[in-house]
Structure 1
């Protein structure tokens, strides 16, 4: 679907003037209708951009206010009023009503032919839907399946105006706790859910376009998947993480209360590695959405540090490592109702500061010292030895991640 913001950018609508509801220009236009009945409300369903001349009002402009109330109630995209002999101007009280509801109302000069307006809007909607389906099909081939002929895909991308011969990276934007958010907004039917997802996607697309970014985009389940150009920061290019923060700000303003996280896969210069970047972004998002490990909602594969290395090793080898290093401590905990593994994890999180660790665990310092000595005894590793300490630290990290099933690609 297209937004009202896109509609006012169409060539034949250059004379269209918005008089109310500018803050609602992101409303989505499902279709455009020209209806001039005295009561149009029973004939609209929601999502339409309605055009009227006012001939059905018989000069009674008070009815226009009632019509606008009804259109707002039925959640139309907006209203275009053909200014002329029947409605010479939009009454101030109608403008005020639309402003409060963020409902766009436009004035269209009488000399502009309505048939041309409806034809161009409908043609643009059909063209946009066709283009979005083609791009989604293209991205699914690129990211979800083994790549057969990269040159063909590069040519297809060029057809849509994208240069995939340059470095890119995959980004995924994912709404957090979406079901709870939808319930709070009383979104209960499939039609409302589709409209919400379309609005979410359009806000992302419009923000990136406003920022001057040429980005391939598709909706996959609840998420938005992007292929973003990887700019050379040394040459003054902006980081994609900074651009996504702009998108987050816009989403926060347009859809208050919706929490969104994002992940960036690694840079790829060959289309053969595009799927790898997508899988990296998917895995990073799954990892940190479960662990809630950072306040910043944008997670970058290239900045994962030790986690990046662990992702590359593979779940089978990591499981063996965990069994060898940490499982003996787990067995001791189970048999003796102790808390050695968690104590060791907290000890490392507190940078091996025993006083802070004891305070956080709510235990006496002597109790913690006993646990640490027991850990050394069971594992035959010294916490004073840098190599042994690193071995144990990696063990507890791997254990936490295996518990969350994040070290495997689907």
Structure 2
């Protein structure tokens, strides 16, 4: 219908203009023309007055219209050059259309095209949503989602996880994070559209660039950030925002699926390693199949290290001010602990097997025949330095077992590491590293403490004293320990315990009565002293 129309100005702006509506307008314009309109006029309100027509054109332009089409031949015969010059300078499109062209036909045609475009705009996000779901169902990578969205909106994207690490996208990460880290002063929510979804979108402008940020959420919790980087001249349209929202949801689904897979594999790895350390009866074929699945090499030498976070509960309460559940919070912190441990192992080029049980972490670190202690200390130094950033203020106690080779010896190294941990905490306090081979006496006691028969003998001797102490609060074990430390001197022992001599003698007789052992019989005395020393290492505990 516009074959006979003449473009009088703004020809170079045609590709940049967008038409959202069409209207017929005569003077005065006032506020009846809105942005991106295709305006039709006969110029009848200007009465052939060039100045009036000029003002009319300026008002239409200032209203944000995309095109002004003037029907010439009745009220306007020629468009004045001054108006053409103004429009050309302003990159405003003016069409000269023949008087014979009926406005009703032109409005009908334009509205038909707008309706077609509107339907396409409505269907396009739906088609994109279906394609994103298909990508997820096919198990494709996150980069597949990023590539697809970048093609659809023609912008660069960057996706970061909740730890701020980039996982996908082609946008310049240095620019993205530089703008995002300065967001406090320049960030603005996209509220001008009054669209409920846009309240979750933030826009940052810096120099000639725009950064859009969408929060990736799963189960109501932030899982990362979805960034779109573009120039100021190419800001996102409403449709681009809608598509980006859908991509953010798809990314959250991908994170959830990937997280579920990782968690399932992590649980299987955890259960397998725990089965090894408790000595569960598994066939060699079963062990090897699982080792192959998890890419574990069980033939290289490992040393077991057990760690226990001592003050995690109080730190969480201080920082978050909420009730504390040791099990729940340790599980939540496990990912940070695991990251720090694997980072340290990678830094020294060692393989590492990792498990988590109740309130302790279990590590099997690859070592060598000649440098076990040095390797372990170097590794734990790196771990603790890493924890300063990941878990500031958390105090760990460590127990280190002996080097083992072969899948049949994992239980032995674990037992020695656990015994070393308990002995170290009991003898030296928390926040220390205790190696199984630290001292000859400790090594002897710990070696004996991991023997079940020895444990039972010691407990059979001490159980009467433990049970009596629980009821009376007399601490007979401590009394005996100080009595032996003073070489059986009653006076010194009474002074140290701040007891009357007769009270101490009563306690000593009670020890003999409860245990059935005589404090003057060398064999009985040896057995009592051995059981108390073993108990003092915390390597054995009472089992009522």
- The answer to whether the aligner puts 1:310 opposite 2:445 as a matched pair is no
Output the CA distance in 1 between the equivalents of 2:316 and 2:274: 27
Output the CA distance in 2 between the equivalents of 1:395 and 1:237: 30
- Which one of 459, 474, 493 corresponds to residue 319 of structure 1? 459
Output the CA distance in 2 between the equivalents of 1:16 and 1:67: 13
Output the CA distance in 2 between the equivalents of 1:126 and 1:341: 50
> Closer, same or farther in 2 for the Cα pair 1:187/1:14, shift >3 Å?
farther
Contact 2:306–2:399 (8 Å) recurs in 1: yes
- Which one of 149, 161, 172 corresponds to residue 283 of structure 2? 149
- Which one of 321, 344, 348 corresponds to residue 186 of structure 1? 321
Contact 1:53–1:86 (8 Å) recurs in 2: no
Question: 1:85: Cα distance to partner?
Answer: 0.7
Cα deviation per residue 1:303-343 (whole Å; 9 max; x = unaligned)? 432322233243322234558xx97xx99xx99x9988535
Cα deviation per residue 1:258-291 (whole Å; 9 max; x = unaligned)? 22222233433232232343344345445554x3
TM (norm. structure 2) is 0.46
Match of residue 19 from structure 1 = 178
More deviation, 373-382/314-323: 373-382
Question: 1:87: Cα distance to partner?
Answer: 9.5
TM alignment of 1:173-252, pairs within 5 A: 173-184=307-318, 185-188=320-323, 193=329, 195-234=332-371, 238-252=374-388
Match of residue 110 from structure 1 = none
> Closer, same or farther in 2 for the Cα pair 1:349/1:368, shift >3 Å?
farther
Question: 1:136: Cα distance to partner?
Answer: 2.4
Contact 1:53–1:87 (8 Å) recurs in 2: no
Output the CA distance in 2 between the equivalents of 1:280 and 1:43: 57
More deviation, 304-313/388-397: 388-397
Output the CA distance in 1 between the equivalents of 2:343 and 2:170: 19
Cα deviation per residue 1:200-229 (whole Å; 9 max; x = unaligned)? 332333333333332122333343222222
Contact 1:287–1:406 (8 Å) recurs in 2: no
Task: Name the SS of the counterpart of 1:213 in structure 2.
Answer: coil
Match of residue 134 from structure 2 = none
> Closer, same or farther in 2 for the Cα pair 1:281/1:242, shift >3 Å?
same
> Closer, same or farther in 2 for the Cα pair 1:299/1:7, shift >3 Å?
same
Match of residue 396 from structure 2 = 260
Output the CA distance in 2 between the equivalents of 1:270 and 1:133: 23
Output the CA distance in 2 between the equivalents of 1:346 and 1:232: 41
- The answer to whether the aligner puts 1:83 opposite 2:229 as a matched pair is yes
Match of residue 152 from structure 2 = none
More deviation, 190-199/373-382: 373-382
Contact 1:171–1:225 (8 Å) recurs in 2: yes
Question: 1:168: Cα distance to partner?
Answer: 1.7
TM (norm. structure 1) is 0.58
Q: Comparing both chains, which one has the higher relative contact order based on Cα–Cα distances under 8 Å and sequence gaps of 6 or more?
A: 1
Output the CA distance in 1 between the equivalents of 2:379 and 2:393: 21
Q: How many residues in Structure 1 have an aligned counterpart in Structure 2?
A: 338
Cα deviation per residue 1:48-87 (whole Å; 9 max; x = unaligned)? xx9x894xx6x699xx999899x9xx98566464433149
Question: 1:164: Cα distance to partner?
Answer: 0.9
Task: Name the SS of the counterpart of 2:345 in structure 1.
Answer: helix
Task: Name the SS of the counterpart of 2:393 in structure 1.
Answer: coil
Question: 1:165: Cα distance to partner?
Answer: 0.7
Task: Name the SS of the counterpart of 1:305 in structure 2.
Answer: helix
> Closer, same or farther in 2 for the Cα pair 1:187/1:294, shift >3 Å?
same
Output the CA distance in 1 between the equivalents of 2:324 and 2:429: 34
Structure (1 or 2) with the larger CA radius of gyration: 2
Task: Name the SS of the counterpart of 2:450 in structure 1.
Answer: helix
> Closer, same or farther in 2 for the Cα pair 1:5/1:260, shift >3 Å?
same
Output the CA distance in 1 between the equivalents of 2:474 and 2:373: 53
Match of residue 406 from structure 1 = 541
Structure 2 unaligned segments of length 5 or more: list them. 1-159, 182-188, 235-246
Output the CA distance in 1 between the equivalents of 2:483 and 2:251: 68
Output the CA distance in 1 between the equivalents of 2:211 and 2:171: 26
Alignment RMSD (CA, Å): 5.6
